Amino acid sequence: MSEQKHILDAVYQVVLDRKANPSDSSYTASLMQKGLNAVLKKLGEEATEVVIAGKGGVREEVVYETADLLFHTLVLLGYHDIPLEAVYDELRRRFGTSGIEEKASRTS
């Protein structure tokens, strides 16, 4: 991995590679082959684990579980062929805007 490349971009490229070139030894490929419901179930489990870790307040657990959540979010994006740049663009669009204003703009 290049020093210039963001780790999320690098991991996402691996996710896409596992999707395009599945192997029996790839967790990512096996999860995708199980289908969307399996990907969503795992993502939901990871989100719950982040909530539990956050409630517990142990830094290492929060970091570990957040990494799992981010990874499984990348799997979902890869499953749907949504480029990570689309998420970056959305975050850029929202940057500097009040969260209250941004949410109101979606509900009108």
Architecture of the domain whose range is 7-107: Orthogonal Bundle (1.10)
Break the chain into its structural domains and give their ranges: 7-107
Cα–Cα distances in angstroms (integers) from residue 8 to residues 37, 48, 83, in the given order: 23, 21, 11
pLDDT for the residue numbered 16 = 98
H helix and E strand count, the chain: 6, 0
pLDDT of residue 3: 52
Helix (H, G, I), strand (E, B) or coil at 2: coil
Q: Are 9 and 70 in contact (CB under 8 A)?
A: no
The 10s digit of each residue's pLDDT in 67-104 is 999 999 999 999 999 999 999 999 999 998 877 776 77
Model confidence, pTM:
0.87
